[in-house]
Structure 1
């Protein structure tokens, strides 16, 4: 019943036109605020998904490494137990060392990652090979290397060239580091391909077979830098992490892809929440308009309030009428804003209307990803704003004595 009164008050023509104007201003402000929230959150979701996909092509679902020191020494029994975990699709043993790659007069320091034959099934490096290259790591005696795009540009490398590159490793047993020949080991290596994923990786990493890196860096047979693990489904990562941790014990750390890049993803989440709080201020401003609109409506309907009370309406009934009036203003604005945002996001997803400036991005348009959780969060925010804006005017309308005699 009280909602019917609120709906009638909303539709009815007011004696003072300014009440209608303020009411519609508050509706438009809420619509703009809710649309802005959905749009910005969807863009953040899009960029977050884009970054995760790029990092997902380089980092494994789970990574086992040492809590102290650089190398791990997994036993045959531990590797067998790891293989028996149902949610583990595959895993790869890796070693990583710094090396100097030289091509004629050009050189670059790289993180040379030696991987086994399972690696391409664990991490999606293979699909990011560009131009005429291929994912080929060679053998211990005849190694090949896959370079990051930034490294390849720095040293002028070309997979089609027949001239080999030279890789230098430090000699850990050398006593005289002033003599370059004694202080380093060198080996000619063929460039098989170039990968491009993300600038941080492209300028830093190169891949070859694990046997070559182990031999050149004098790494013992049972020592590894890490174990990269592929999980069957993202939903199983948390459970698999616990199982893997129970196998390797406290001297090993088992990290998810998020934990391997915790600072990056934490900053992205923080930025998203800060923008959400800032844009919510628009809804707070709209709340002031709602307070004004409801206050003026109460003054206009004071005779109606007096009649209702004379007929036996209690204060709670009166209060609910104007609370519902506030919910109507906020609800109409919120639904309109979210509908507008949905249509804009859908158009951006389908037609890529808004482009990114410059040509150095992975995509040339703003990525957007709509999530039901964002719509629910914005709805909850609008509800809270409506309650806060309507409560005081509605309460005053309920407790104030509007006598029929005083309104005649």
Structure 2
């Protein structure tokens, strides 16, 4: 057995001549454990919000989205897109056309993002699961085009779940010059009728701005016949997602951009990652402060064990081995605090997942969830454990060597 480690372990659990040393050592372990638990819980809460937001976007965003690298639209019959559609791993492929338009209902109006989709859009996404109202999912019937607005957009326009009058949609003409004497001639106008439902993604980006309709209506009002804004894909169950994505990127080349769900909402998830990183950095600073207790404990232990040091030297131990004893002592305190903190943090996360102990306050009923969501990621736990050990090692290395030269 490693001699310095063996002695350090005996010192950690043995009684000292001064009871205060045991108390300070216990406080050191508790301090490291609390900081470690805070790291586990905080990062798990950030993971919980990340997974929650990702699940909300899943209802509206496709698994993969292929968009033109240059310009807003591309020919729907492009051979590159045709090759992508024919991949055996692609189960559903939907053409979409979307652009800005003006929606007017009664005396109210709003700038919207009009998204036209194929009839199989409900097979591509979970759109049916986020509909509210007494109607059904329907985008057209005979010569009528239906429009399904987001729930917050419907509130802004005052349409209700089922608007009684058609919603007028205006989009600028792609060709010709605007006649200032009669500006209305510069716009294409059409009407959308209500299928009796709204969609509720629970994300303002969609609920406040989007209107969903059939692709023929969107192509007509935007003057984009035979064009598409994006090719949206869903893969067959069991497909190797990363391998298929790489293959599609290879086929698309530099002509098209291929994005998965996280890349489609890159700004949102980047902000969440930055927030998580900042929280990790701040809590690590708190951990550093907690490690100062270890320094106090070790300095008192060195004073207490002066006679033992003389005995160890008589037995043949050199200064390097003696210093390593106290370094191991500090590392053992850090490791014990890390393990206790991780266990307590995981226990708290389990209780929060199971019972929702910590709610979102008085406004909890107005949020998607009533309690803070948590999601424990094993890689985060591993990073936390390594961080605690590293901080503990760095925190005690210089002080131990400094005090050893003056006390031992």
TM-score, normalized by length of structure 1?
A: 0.90
1:28 to 18, 24, 30: 30
Q: Name the stretch that deviates more: 281-290 or 156-165.
A: 156-165
List per-residue Cα deviations over 1:118-175 (Å, max 9, x = no partner). 2222232221101323221115721111111111112222344553333333334465
Between the aligned partners of 2:72 and 2:129, the Cα distance in structure 1 is 29
Between the aligned partners of 2:223 and 2:89, the Cα distance in structure 1 is 34
Q: Name the stretch that deviates more: 174-183 or 33-42.
A: 174-183
List per-residue Cα deviations over 1:289-310 (Å, max 9, x = no partner). 2112112211211211221121
2:188 equivalent in structure 1: 185
The 5 Å alignment of 1:95-134 reads: 95-134=97-136
The 5 Å alignment of 1:325-404 reads: 325-357=329-361, 358=363, 359-392=365-398, 394-395=400-401
The 5 Å alignment of 1:122-161 reads: 122-139=124-141, 141-161=143-163
Distance 1:140 1:184, change over 3 A: farther
SS at match of 1:258: helix
SS at match of 1:94: strand
2:292 to 288, 294, 314: 288
2:249 equivalent in structure 1: 245
2:212 to 207, 214, 223: 207
User: How far off its partner does 1:285 sit?
Assistant: 1.2
SS at match of 2:28: helix
2:224 equivalent in structure 1: 219
User: How far off its partner does 1:181 sit?
Assistant: 5.0
SS at match of 2:115: strand
* 8 Å CA contact 1:149, 1:202 repeated in 2: yes
User: How far off its partner does 1:366 sit?
Assistant: 0.6
Distance 1:336 1:401, change over 3 A: closer
List per-residue Cα deviations over 1:184-204 (Å, max 9, x = no partner). 333332212200111121110
Between the aligned partners of 2:94 and 2:104, the Cα distance in structure 1 is 28
Between the aligned partners of 2:192 and 2:397, the Cα distance in structure 1 is 75
TM-score, normalized by length of structure 2?
A: 0.90
Structure 2 residues without counterparts, runs of 5 or longer: none
2:309 equivalent in structure 1: 305
Between the aligned partners of 1:322 and 1:331, the Cα distance in structure 2 is 14
SS at match of 2:375: coil
Distance 1:177 1:151, change over 3 A: farther
SS at match of 2:140: coil
Between the aligned partners of 1:172 and 1:76, the Cα distance in structure 2 is 22
1:42 equivalent in structure 2: 44
1:406 equivalent in structure 2: none
* 8 Å CA contact 1:140, 1:209 repeated in 2: no
* 8 Å CA contact 1:143, 1:190 repeated in 2: yes
Between the aligned partners of 1:233 and 1:367, the Cα distance in structure 2 is 27
CA RMSD of aligned residues (A): 2.4
SS at match of 2:144: coil
User: How far off its partner does 1:107 sit?
Assistant: 2.5
Distance 1:200 1:326, change over 3 A: same
Distance 1:282 1:365, change over 3 A: same
SS at match of 2:302: helix
Between the aligned partners of 2:16 and 2:182, the Cα distance in structure 1 is 94
* 8 Å CA contact 1:141, 1:212 repeated in 2: no
